[in-house]
Amino acid sequence: MSVHIAVNCDPAPFRINVKLLHRRTLWLLQQNKVANHSVSVLLVDDKEISWLNSNYRDKTGPTNVLSFSFDDGGDPLSVVESIGIKELGDIIISVETASREADNLKTSLHDRLTWLITHGLLHLLGYDHERSEKEANEMWALENQLIKQLHNSRSNQMTQLAINVDHVATVRNARGVNEPDPVAAAAICELAGASGIVVHLREDRRHINDRDIHLLRETIKTRMNLEMGANKKIVEIALALKPDMVTLVPEKRQELTTEGGLNVTGQKKKLAKTINQMNKAGIPVSLFIDPEAKQVKAAQAIGATYVELHTGRYCDAENEIIQEKEYQLITSAAEEAYQMGLRVNAGHGLDYQNTAKIAALDTIEELSIGHAIIARAVFVGLDQAVREMGQIVRDASMTF
């Protein structure tokens, strides 16, 4: 499957987000079951589309969208298989006309362009609104349905950034004093745009403690994600605290940080019990797992709402080849989980260099990042460190 988007007009006045349109067009190909086909989208100005309109359709003046099927006249999906891929054709859109229409319809330019791409694509797939009223109604209905689904889909949503403030507590506890305070840190993270705050209440309370979680519960304005081991005492605390969600993680006393994901397949009964208890209290549960199909399936089978994919092996990879392999594992586990109806988060080891690639996956809803942001904050301040990471995540997830 491939989508080629070319801008053949002065893009400056429009600030066109080609990546966003690319992502939405890929989604449209998938939804129309032509994921193994390719399509080209050319964004032009009124002058160029007028020229095409007059030369190919005998019409004067600009129009909003034209589509030219690669296999003009035949069954659009049956014939062309040059070099192994199927070419649907070209969709040509005047950005100037689309922009005027967006203003009139009080919608954004990108939503208007998306609608025009949808319209052009349906033409390439053989739909027509000029042949008969019945066909026109069928085409409008499908167009509306696709746009509605797109707006609710992950292809239209931005990856969120949740910040783990455990490391602030680690510094505080190193001195046995009361600063820096993770509660103040959480507020700064939120003011700088974080979509959630993550804290890990460990059995040994090596960083976050009971006072922190209670104050955080009262003061967090976004969402509180409590990381925890599935052990009786911590479960009781979580049930009383009622965070917005919990993430169950494996917890070993000697480890420096959470090493590896949960073995869900090996402890289904225990984890299912905790999930059940949490769900009864209205707390959704995420399971922190390695990006493996068997763990994803087990998480879904025992009723998890989310999985958080462990990105540690991807982040720590010794070379690019290994990193790419790990990235592919994350991509397919995320896709598999998403297709099963699980919500998908990811985290561990993400930093200012390796985050963009993960944030760009439209199956992933939220990233949980701690160490890299707190480490940078020592030099540039927490507010700036969060904003910089937020920008990376936003740019990569390609949505406004």
Which entry of 96, 227, 326, 365 is annotated as an active-site residue?
227
Which lies closer to ligand PXP via its Cβ, residue 39 or residue 337?
337
Q: Is 249 in the site for ligand PXP (CB under 6 A)?
A: yes
With respect to ligand PXP, which residue has the nearer C-beta, 212 or 227?
227
Q: Residue 1 in 3-state DSSP?
A: coil
Active site residue 227: yes
- The reply to whether 247 sits near ligand PXP by the rule CB under 6 A is yes
Contact 32, 77 (CB under 8 A): no
Binding of ligand PXP at residue 235 (CB under 6 A)?
Answer: no
Catalytic residue chosen out of the listed positions 167, 200, 207, 310: 200
CA distance 219 to 242: 14
Q: Give me the least distance between CB of 349 and ligand PXP, in Å please.
A: 5
Q: How far is the CB of 240 from ligand PXP (least distance, A)?
A: 22
Based on the shown chain and the rule CB under 6 A, indicate whether residue 223 belongs to the binding site for ligand PXP.
no
User: Scanning residues 256 to 285, which ones bind ligand PXP (CB under 6 A)?
Assistant: 257-258
Work out whether 390 is an interface residue with ligand PXP (CB under 6 A). Answer: no
Return the bridge partners of 246, or none. 226, 285
Q: How far apart are CA 218 and CA 95, in angstroms?
A: 48
Cβ distance to ligand PXP smaller for residue 117 or 224: 224
**Shortest distance, CB of residue 253 to ligand PXP, whole angstroms?**
15
Q: Closer to ligand PXP by CB, 250 or 297: give it.
A: 250
The footprint of ligand PXP on this chain (CB under 6 A) covers a number of residues equal to 19
Q: What is the DSSP letter of 158?
A: P
Q: Exposed, middle or buried by CB within 10 Å (0-12, 13-18, 19+), for 219?
A: middle
Among 166, 292, 365, 366, interactor with ligand PXP by CB under 6 A: 166
Q: Is 369 in the site for ligand PXP (CB under 6 A)?
A: yes
Cβ at position 166, least distance to ligand PXP in Å: 6
Per-residue binding string, ligand PXP, 326-365, x by CB under 6 A, is ---------------------xxxx---------------
Taken as a whole, the chain contains a residue count of: 400
Count of other CB atoms within 10 angstroms of residue 206: 14
Tokens 């199927």 found at: 86
Considering the complex, state which of residue 146 and residue 168 has its C-beta at the smaller distance from ligand PXP: 168
Q: Which of 371, 383, 387, 394 binds ligand PXP (CB under 6 A)?
A: 371
- Is residue 376 a contact point for ligand PXP (CB under 6 A)? no
| Closest distance of CB 327 from ligand PXP, Å | 17
Q: Give yes or no for residue 154 binding ligand PXP (CB under 6 A).
A: no
3-state SS, one letter per residue, for 261-288? CCCCHHHHHHHHHHHHHHHHCCCCEEEE
Single out the catalytic residue among 37, 110, 119, 348. 348
Residue least distant from ligand PXP (Cβ): 370
Instruction: Give me the helix-helix angle, 109-124 and 95-105, nearest 10°.
Output: 120
In the complex with ligand PXP, which residue's Cβ is closer, 285 or 372?
372
* 107: contact with ligand PXP by CB under 6 A: no
For 366, the token pair is 């939220």
Should residue 213 be labelled a site residue for ligand PXP when binding is judged by CB under 6 A? Answer: no
> What three-state secondary structure class fits 38?
strand
Q: Among residues 172, 370, 390, 393, which is the contact residue for ligand PXP, using CB under 6 A?
A: 370
Alpha-carbon span 21 to 368, nearest angstrom: 27
Beta-strand runs (E) in the chain: 2-7, 37-44, 65-69, 86-94, 160-164, 196-200, 224-228, 245-248, 285-289, 306-310, 343-347, 366-369
Distance, C-alpha 8 to centroid of its chain: 29
Q: Does 224 engage in binding with ligand PXP (CB under 6 A)?
A: no
d(CA 344, CA 287): 10
Choosing from 172, 200, 343, 376, the residue that interacts with ligand PXP (CB under 6 A) is 200
Other beta carbons within 10 angstroms of residue 91's beta carbon come to 25
305 interacts with ligand PXP by CB under 6 A: no
Helix, strand or coil, per DSSP, at residue 251: coil
**400 burial class (0-12, 13-18, 19+ CB within 10 angstroms)?**
exposed
* Active centre residues (catalytic): 200, 227, 348
Q: Which residues bind ligand PXP (CB under 6 A)?
A: 164, 166, 200, 227, 247, 249, 257-258, 288, 308, 347-350, 368-372
